[in-house]
Structure 1
Amino acid sequence: MLGRSTEWRQGHLLTDESALALKLVPVLGTITKVIVITHDCDIPNDKEPYIEVIIGNIVEKLDGNFCNAKNPRKLHITFSNNTSGLDEPFCFEHNQKTIVAYQDFSKLAVIDKDYNLPKEQKSALKQWLAARYGRPAFPDEFEKRIRKHNTKKFSFEKEVYKIVRPKGEHVVGIFFDLHNSRSEDLPEGDPYELSIHVIYDSEIGAGAAREAAEQIAEEMKALICSLFGEGQAAMDIDLQYCDAMSDTSLTLADIRRLDQWRVEYISLQDDSAGDFLAPAAPL
């Protein structure tokens, strides 16, 4: 039994050998890794029938669009390799989530102590897990307008992906403020007033993070204005401003007013991915 004294925590990796013993991987010696996602408080509870895990892979490098829980389906996080002293990027996807019988896990699972998940990376993991079920959605009419210019060769989502990808690891999130129209389908001819905050991490690489967020904000502003016009000429969407902001400047009042926009951006009519902000994401 795992018991209250267990060392297991959410975010721990299984050793390759124990993952094989639990039939979570087919063979040893691959880039495949298995991470525990059951909450810390549930792991020692023997009334839980299962331990939840996700099967992922070591990747060559981080993709900024998948860092900091910006994408609701895919997550890139960095583990510290205690043997080599290097940071290693990992990729996990929700469709690779599975369960292990509690009794089997307690008998066969072993923590891979070669890897450590830093505090800020575990926070990203928690937010990403919560986003799967708690993400809000924007008004259907707003989503229809934001995709108005999409074609087979062009999409708003892909353009934002290109903007965010090179420097996205520095960005905590992109937040949209629709002001008084947050839950309204506005009539044709009545543009949505949109304000955007690109939030950067004030502690990790602060200077580079601010510069990255400012560049992303400028490029997003240029994209939106080129598609929808600006000022008196704005059609469908009227961008009020798009700026970079430190995460320490974001207040609880801001969190309650804003919605986090994700690169994978779907309306209420689609049951796949959408948008989420965890106002009380656990650390």
Structure 2
Amino acid sequence: MQRILEALGWRQGSFVKPETVAKLIGDIDSTFTISANNLLVVASQSCDVASSQEEYIELSIVRPLSAEAFNKQYSHNRHPRILHIEANSNSSDEKVILELKAHEKIQIKKSLLEEFKPDSSINFLEGNLNQYIDWLAGRYKRPALPTKFDQLIASSDKKGKRKKIAKRANEYLTGIYVDIYPNRDIKDEETYSVNLLGIASNDQSIASATDALNEYADILKDAGMDVSVPKVGTEFKISVGTLRQYQRINFDYLSYEENNPIPPDTGI
């Protein structure tokens, strides 16, 4: 069976044709509403698709969007639960805008796909495929910032300035990263030392991104933290080694101890 799927071209990121979705709906045991207007995309890793040890295959539910419905706040993995992403249409020069929700995944037996080929009219470019894969993985790799760190900021930023900064800077700042010492809950007599790193969209955005990061640094200082001069660079100039020292701040994150059913969302 596994070689059949491989021979048919099924890989991670392969799309299921709408007409195939319509035929599969009756065999899908799902709590989510799936219509023939939806697409499905293979979430399982390509080796798992081919492996005889895996009886099932995981698929994300995909909804096509209009260009007007595209929301940058959900693009480039900014949001851990919703992804707006582009795919290539092989039948036209226009990009296809898609929406995926992290919890909307289904599992079906691989044998159900033996009769079908992937949709050749739509595909992810390699960069967007990697973005989708990283977004999936991000659901399960999100280290939380120390609870005390969160509490100090919340007590000094009751008006939510940091989220407003992030929203305003969305055009030119693709990420805010933080390196905290000590990276644990501190005692009353201790102080956090913080390094801030901003990823600018491009060289032209560095000045605006720096202004936004300085505003964010002021919030941390008001919370009683020692903050070094923020660093800003483009993704092409910041090494992987540097990023590994930091945690990315997602602005709807929660620490482990907060009483909320949504898990924490900080991570690189």
Same-fold call, TM cutoff 0.5: yes
Q: Does 1:51 pair with 2:39?
A: no
Question: Which of 220, 224, 242 is the matching residue for 1:254?
Answer: 242
- Which residue number corresponds to residue 202 of structure 2? 209
Contact kept in structure 2, 1:191 and 1:236, CA below 8 Å: yes
Counterparts in 2 of 1:182-221, with a 5 A limit?
Answer: 183-188=183-188, 190-200=190-200, 209-212=202-205, 214-221=207-214
Taking only aligned residues, the RMSD between alpha carbons, in angstroms, comes to 2.5
The 5-angstrom pairing of residues 223-242 of structure 1 reads 223-225=216-218, 227-229=219-221, 234-242=222-230
Sort the Cα spacing of 1:112 and 1:214 in 2 relative to 1 into closer, same or farther, 3 A.
farther
Please, which runs of 5 or more residues in structure 1 have no aligned partner? 201-207, 278-283
Match of 2:136 in 1: 129
Are the equivalent residues in 2 in contact too, given 1:34–1:54 (CA < 8 A)?
yes
Q: 1:13 to 1:217 in 2, by over 3 A?
A: farther
1:10–1:38 CA contact under 8 A, matched in 2: yes
For 1:76 and 1:272, the matched residues in 2 are separated by 21
Secondary structure, aligned partner of 2:202: helix
Conserved? CA contact 2:59–2:106, under 8 Å: yes
Q: Which residue is equivalent to 1:268?
A: 256
Contact conserved, 1:81 with 1:116, CA < 8 A, in 2?
A: yes
**Compared with structure 1, are the counterparts of its residues 50 and 150 closer, same or farther at alpha carbon in structure 2 (3 Å cutoff)?**
farther
Code of the aligned partner of 1:197: L
Alignment identity in percent?
19
Structure 2: runs of 5+ lacking an equivalent:
none
Q: Which of the residues 32, 41, 61 maps onto 1:35?
A: 41
The correspondence of residues 1-283 of structure 1 with structure 2, limited to 5 A, is: 1-3=1-3, 4-23=6-25, 26-28=34-36, 30=37, 32-61=38-67, 62-107=70-115, 109-149=116-156, 151=158, 154-156=159-161, 158-167=163-172, 171=174, 173-178=175-180, 180-181=181-182, 183-188=183-188, 190-200=190-200, 209-212=202-205, 214-225=207-218, 227-229=219-221, 234-270=222-258, 272-277=263-268
Give 1:36 deviation, angstroms.
1.0
Q: Which amino acid aligns with 1:93?
A: K
For the residues of structure 2 that align with 1:134 and 1:33, how far apart are their CA atoms?
26
Distance in 2, matches of 1:99 and 1:2, equals 16
Structure 1 residues 240 and 164: alpha-carbon distance in aligned structure 2, compared to 1, 3 A threshold? same
Note the C-alpha offset of 1:164. Answer: 4.2
Number of matched pairs: 255
Contact 1:177 1:257 in 2 (8 A): yes
Could you tell me whether the CA contact under 8 Å between 2:256 and 2:263 is conserved in 1? no
Greater relative contact order (Cα 8 A, min sep 6): structure 1 or 2? 1
Deviation at 1:123, TM superposition (A): 1.2
